[in-house]
Structure formats: structure tokens, C-alpha cells
Amino acid sequence: MTCALCLACARDPSNKTVYLTTLFSFAVALAFFLGELLIFKTLSIRGAISPMIVASISTTWLTLGLDFYTGSK
């Protein structure tokens, strides 16, 4: 699902709904992997590090670019 959202967001980053949905999907992914790692302890750090890096960088990048791409203030 995140891949489809990324493609839709890349095609039209000025669409605020798609942009925010993509941002939300990465934030949910980050929360999911953090929960599995820290709360439920069903993942090792080796299994969680790659998706957590992608999710945290993507969440940060999308948050920083929100005003630029969507024109919101």
C-alpha cells in the first residue's frame, strides 16, 4: 500500500490529501516497527533497522516538505 501511495504522491505532490496519506502511512509503519521491537519484542534490531530507517527518513522528509509541496501554511 505504501508503494502505491508513494507513486501517487510522486505523480502529484501538490495533492494535499495524497501527500498527508503518504506521510501518515510512513508514520504508522514506524510506530508499528517500534512497537514490535520495544513493546512486544517480536523483532530483533537487525530485523527492524532497515524498515525503521526508511520510515523515519521518509516521515521526516515528508514533514519538512509539506509546506513546499502542498502550499499549506
Give the mean model confidence (pLDDT) for residues 8-20: 96
For residue 69, the surrounding DSSP H or E stretch is helix 45-70
pLDDT confidence of residue 73: 61
pLDDT confidence of residue 47: 94
**What residues have CB less than 8 Å from 2, skipping those under 6 apart?**
22, 25, 26, 29
The model's pLDDT over 22-62, given as tens digits with 9 standing for 90+, comes to: 999 999 999 999 999 999 999 999 999 999 999 999 999 99
For residue 27, which of 48, 58, 5, 3 has the smallest C-alpha distance?
Answer: 58
Q: Which pTM does this prediction carry?
A: 0.92
